[in-house]
Structure 1
Amino acid sequence: MDRIALISDVHGNLTALEAVLDDIADRGIQRVFNLGDYVGKGPRGQAVVDRCRDACEVNILGNWDDALPDPENSYDDRPSLKWWRDELREDQRTWLRGLPFCHDFLLSGRQVRLFHASATSVHDRIWFDHDEAQFASFFENTPATGDGPPPSIVGYADIHDAFYEEDRGRTLFNTGSVGNSLGDPTPGYVILEGVLDSPEQAPFSIQFVRVPYDAHAELAIARELGAPELDAYEAEIIHGIYRTTFWAGREPRYHRTPV
Structure 2
Amino acid sequence: MYENILLEISDGVSTITLNRPQVYNALSTGLIKEITKAVEVSSTDNSVRVIVLTGIGDKAFCSGADLKAGMDEGMASLGDSLRKNYNPMIAAIRNAEKPVICRMNGIAAGAGMSLALACDLIIANKEAYMSELFVGIGLMPDAGSMYFLPRIIGMQKAFELCSTGRKVYMDEALTLGLVTKAVAYENLDETVGELVEYYKTAPTKSIGLMKKVLNQSYSSTIAEILEQEAENQYILGKTHDFAEGVMAFLQKRKPNFKGK
* TM-score (structure 1 length as normaliser): 0.29
- Select the structure that is richer in helix: 2
Structure with more contact order per residue of length (Cα contacts < 8 Å, sep ≥ 6): 1
Structure whose CA Rg is larger: 2
